Amino acid sequence: MNDSYKKLAKPYEIWLYIFALFPALVMFALIFLDTEGINLSEASLTFGNFSQLTESSTIIAFVNSLKFAFLSTLICAILGYFVAYRLFRSKFKNKFLILTILILPMWSNILLRIEALGNVMQPNNIITDILSKIGIHIGIDIKGTSVAVLIGLVFTYLPFMILPIYTALEKIDPSLEEASLDLGVTHLKTFWKVIFPLSIKGIVTGSIMVFLPCLSGFAIPEILGSGNIVLIGNVIDQFFRNMNYNIGALLALLILILILGAIFLVQKVDKEGETLL
């Protein structure tokens, strides 16, 4: 590439050095230190932080995180595939409009959305209010349960699943389906033998895009779980709040390694990054 174009990326490169690489290195250093907050004057070298990894509270939070991330990814994959497939099959001309509508909630602040969702999950809210005015008295009280957290996760991350699956489906040459039918294979079998295998790329990409934020996020379990559900993100949050940067950094880097592994996996499955939009 032309050298002069390389310069265009310089500002962002510097930005990355200052706000991503440098903090990551600091975090890496903190793992092996025992410090008072971020004050390095009384720092001493130690491997004691690693003992936190075997603490049952950490393990429970970690298992919880994996459980919730796995479940919401599964639910998102199933629901997302239905939606993407329906959209892919529809004869509607302006499919982009539908996609935009699906993404629309993502443009509002996530905390506001989750707070609002949490509100609906409590017995008294605006919807039950309106319904009771016309004589319907229903209300749910699930805030603080794992179901609420799961709903919140799926609600938030479903669009990230729909988009890559839809993209993968749209990229399938329609003549492949005709070829399969032409070879005497029924519609249902054609789906499983041709359409589905060719859309797996989209499912993998979408799964990573749902799994990772579910694994590391802490706002949704915090708000919808009312503190009852502790995920690894909440644990990290707690350590940082209590100025225990050493253990916080250790757990955060652990998550980072998981994320890098996942991105590596996506690259293996989807070499050209076709489904990443």
Partner 1 sequence: MGKVIIELQDIVKKFDGQVIVDHLNLTIYENEFLTLLGPSGCGKTTTLRMIAGFEKPDEGNVIINGKIFNNLPAYARPINTVFQKYALFPHLNVLDNVAFGLRNRSFKFLLSFFNEEELKKEIIQEKEQKGQNNKKITKLDLHKKINEKIIEEAKKSIELVKLSGFENRKIDQMSGGQQQRIALARAIVNRPQILLLDEPLSALDLKLRENMQYELKEIQRKLGITFIFVTHDQQEAMTMSDRIVVMKDGTIQQLGTPKNIYNEPQNRFVATFIGESNIIRGTYLEKNKISFMDAIFDCMGYTFNDNEPVDVVIRPEDFDIIPKENAKLTGTVTSCIFRGVFYEICADVHEMEFVIHAYEEIEVGKVIGLNVDPYEISLMKVNENE
Closer residue to partner 1 in complex, CB, 42/173: 173
| Minimum separation from the CB atom of position 182 to partner 1 (A) | 5
Closer residue to partner 1 in complex, CB, 194/259: 194
Long-range pairs, 110-118, Cβ under 8 A, ≥24: 110/156, 110/219, 111/219, 111/223, 113/155, 113/156, 114/152, 114/156, 114/219, 114/220, 114/223, 114/224, 115/223, 117/151, 117/152, 117/155, 117/224, 118/143, 118/148, 118/152, 118/223, 118/224
Length of the chain counted residue by residue: 277
Question: Are the CB atoms for 161 and 80 separated by under 8 Å?
Answer: yes
Closer residue to partner 1 in complex, CB, 194/256: 194
Measured distance CA(163)–CA(275) in Å, rounded: 8
| Minimum separation from the CB atom of position 264 to partner 1 (A) | 22
| Minimum separation from the CB atom of position 196 to partner 1 (A) | 10
**213 Cβ contact list (under 8 Å, min separation 6):** 156, 157, 160
Using CB under 8 A as the binding rule, the residues of this chain from 198 to 227 that contact partner 1 are 198
| Nearest CA-CA partner of 153 in 215, 61, 103, 102 | 215
| Minimum separation from the CB atom of position 277 to partner 1 (A) | 21
Closer residue to partner 1 in complex, CB, 256/269: 269
Using CB under 8 A as the binding rule, the residues of this chain from 128 to 187 that contact partner 1 are 173, 175-176, 178-187
Q: What are the helix and strand counts (H, E) for the chain?
A: 14, 2
Tell me, by CB under 8 A, how many residues bind partner 1: 18
Closer residue to partner 1 in complex, CB, 3/182: 182
- Give me the residue label for tokens 């997302």: 80
Using CB under 8 A as the binding rule, the residues of this chain from 76 to 115 that contact partner 1 are none
Q: Binding of partner 1 at residue 269 (CB under 8 A)?
A: no
Of 6, 7, 67, 189, which lies in the binding site for partner 1, with binding defined by CB under 8 A? 189
Closer residue to partner 1 in complex, CB, 43/194: 194
Closer residue to partner 1 in complex, CB, 194/265: 194
Where do contacts with partner 1 occur on this chain (CB under 8 A)?
A: 173, 175-176, 178-187, 189, 193-194, 197-198
